[in-house]
Structure 1
Amino acid sequence: MSAQVLDGKLLAKNREQLLKVAVDQLIAQGGRKPALATILVGDDPSSATYVQMKINACERVGMGSKSIILPAKTTTEELLTEITRLNNDPEINGILLQHPVPEQIDERACFDAISLEKDVDGVTTQGFGRMAMGEKAFGSATPAGIMTLLKHYDVQMEGKHAVVVGRSPILGKPMAAMLLNANATVTVCHSRTVDLAQQVQKADIVIGAVGKPELIKAQWINDGAVVIDAGYHVGGVGDIEKQGLETRVSAMTPVPGGVGPMTINALISQTLKAAQLASL
């Protein structure tokens, strides 16, 4: 058996073509050019790279972007002031606060200050609650991108046992909620889980969302399982050890080129949706 490659890079590229058509149509109908504001606090090079990738994606589909770079010593109050200004700017449809922020900043307070209508990265408590309850809200970008990828490749989720390794508020927890809403049976594992290997062995779908290189071992994973790796670390490895999986599992994401491009695609897709809603 050869595993199907869940190619997020290719899917994102194809979806960008459709997004560009939709952006052009919105503008032609008299709507404002959709625009995403990105906020980067500090000078972490990895964060700066991620923000630039999102700005580049906006440009490719004809959307506008506004880059805001704040010094590492920025306070919570100063960041909240900037977010409030963007909330009140009619030319901005989406706000992305790049994670993580410096330790002196109350990140949760700043995330929750983003207006629900502009929470295109799906980071607010209110947005998470609405999404989990099956109400309209923008989903957290990485889980939303993963769901789009699974649906595109017709991966069956209903009735399947999904194991999510990781419980962060912007990845593991919303991923579990989205899978539950798709009628999967979901187990969430974390640093206090007893016998992680045994839990992973039960999975039809394994989601690596823990942020530790190759924590999840290939030998734990069932033959025929679907493997989604949301991690990316130095050396081009993910959260899941891949050696030998390509001949045993039914489908898997590459690292890189799987989840990452779909995260960005979800972000710009939701920014367009916010612009469309604002034009009604």
Structure 2
Amino acid sequence: MSHAEKLILDGNAVAAGIKEQLEARIARLAERGITPCLATILVGGDPSSATYVRMKGNACKRLGISSIRVELPASTTTEELIAAIRKLNDDKSVHGILLQHPVPHGIDERAAFEAIAIEKDVDGVTTLGFAQNAFGFADYPSCTPAAIMAILAHYKLPIRGRHAVVIGRSPILGKPVSAMLLNADATVTTCHSRTEDLASIVRLADIVVAAVGKPKFVQGDWIKPGAVVLDAGYNPGNVGDVDYEACMANASAITPVPAGVGPVTIATLLKHTVDAAEKFGG
């Protein structure tokens, strides 16, 4: 199969479709005097986290979604962060709360995530949000897993009965996407850093989700001919977790980095914020 015959899974196109559907919904909310509002909390000065928060803010602005940026110093305590989250929970004009991961060492990140009210947990980071996703009825599943499912749906790539291998087990990516694929009738193997003979397991996969946080980790000869490859990684130098050129040789469909999963993740966050505004906006 030549490069020309490969299906490049264009995240920008999928994201544009999601945003287009949101425009009319945002206009209808405006008629009711409601502006969807996303609050992002950034603790410390991590430059890549600051970039992500800025990108999310710009995406909100372009669609007419209000965004509040809460910036706290690296010296912030767990108690101070939870107090800031509770203040946003109580603010009726805020519909979604996003705590940018990771937070500085010394803060209990899990306790901070748990402080987010479930109706404002637009990135599915609470234990309850995770559980609802596992059961298949979450209002707001984690955005990157939801983005992966949206890409598969957009391109009508079959999931039912397929063997999906997820590389990574984080509570906001690997585990929730495994649950979503399972709920969509895939047979799912979740791998991680301690998986033995990882390559041989990946070679069995019809769908590969790379979420391991290591540049070009997934090798071309790991990919079964005709497999679908979804790269959820983003590393310095605009490189994903997949060796793109090498994996493309065998894959039938593959997401690029950038312009793959990333734009759809942000569009999903905006969608969840609009969903929350419609549900709880007054």
TM-score, with structure 2 as normaliser: 0.97
Give the structure 1 partner of residue 10 of structure 2. 7
Q: CA deviation at 1:241?
A: 1.1
Indicate whether 1:97 and 2:99 are aligned. yes
Tell me if the contact between 1:230 and 1:238 (Cα under 8 Å) persists in the aligned partners.
yes
What residue identity is the alignment partner of 1:19? L
Indicate whether 1:26 and 2:29 are aligned. yes
**What secondary structure, in the 3-state scheme, does the structure 2 residue paired with 1:243 have?**
helix
Tell me if the contact between 2:220 and 2:248 (Cα under 8 Å) persists in the aligned partners.
no
CA root-mean-square deviation: 1.0
Indicate whether 1:159 and 2:158 are aligned. no
**What secondary structure, in the 3-state scheme, does the structure 2 residue paired with 1:249 have?**
coil
| Per-residue CA distance 1:209-265 (angstroms, 9 max, x = gap) | 010111111111101000000011122211111223334311000110000001101
**What secondary structure, in the 3-state scheme, does the structure 2 residue paired with 1:50 have?**
helix
Tell me if the contact between 2:39 and 2:70 (Cα under 8 Å) persists in the aligned partners.
yes
| Per-residue CA distance 1:149-197 (angstroms, 9 max, x = gap) | 1101001000000000000010000010000010000000001101000
| Per-residue CA distance 1:132-159 (angstroms, 9 max, x = gap) | 0122331001001111111010010000
Tell me if the contact between 1:162 and 1:207 (Cα under 8 Å) persists in the aligned partners.
yes
Tell me if the contact between 2:173 and 2:211 (Cα under 8 Å) persists in the aligned partners.
yes
Runs (4+) off by over 2 Å: 243-248
2:64 is aligned, of 62, 65, 70, to 62
1:146 is aligned, of 138, 141, 148, to 148
What residue identity is the alignment partner of 2:146? A
1:176 is aligned, of 169, 173, 178, to 178
Give the structure 2 partner of residue 111 of structure 1. 113
Give the structure 1 partner of residue 232 of structure 2. 230
What residue identity is the alignment partner of 2:30? I
Give the structure 1 partner of residue 45 of structure 2. 43
Long gaps (5+) in structure 2: none
Tell me if the contact between 1:163 and 1:188 (Cα under 8 Å) persists in the aligned partners.
yes
Report matched runs for 1:71-86 at 5 Å.
Answer: 71-86=73-88
Q: 2:19, 2:76 → 1: CA distance? A: 34
What residue identity is the alignment partner of 1:274? A
What residue identity is the alignment partner of 1:65? S
Tell me if the contact between 2:219 and 2:247 (Cα under 8 Å) persists in the aligned partners.
no
Q: 2:213, 2:74 → 1: CA distance? A: 23
Q: 2:278, 2:243 → 1: CA distance? A: 41
2:217 is aligned, of 215, 218, 232, to 215
Give the structure 2 partner of residue 52 of structure 1. 54
Q: 2:99, 2:236 → 1: CA distance? A: 23
Q: 1:127, 1:147 → 2: CA distance? A: 17
TM-score, with structure 1 as normaliser: 0.97
**What secondary structure, in the 3-state scheme, does the structure 2 residue paired with 1:65 have?**
strand
Q: 1:206, 1:239 → 2: CA distance? A: 11
Greater mean alpha carbon deviation, residues 88-97 or residues 126-135: 126-135
Report matched runs for 1:235-254 at 5 Å.
Answer: 235-254=237-256
Report the count of equivalent residues. Answer: 279
Q: 1:234, 1:3 → 2: CA distance? A: 26
Q: CA deviation at 1:131?
A: 1.1
Q: CA deviation at 1:31?
A: 4.2
Indicate whether 1:17 and 2:20 are aligned. yes
Indicate whether 1:121 and 2:127 are aligned. no
Tell me if the contact between 1:8 and 1:258 (Cα under 8 Å) persists in the aligned partners.
yes
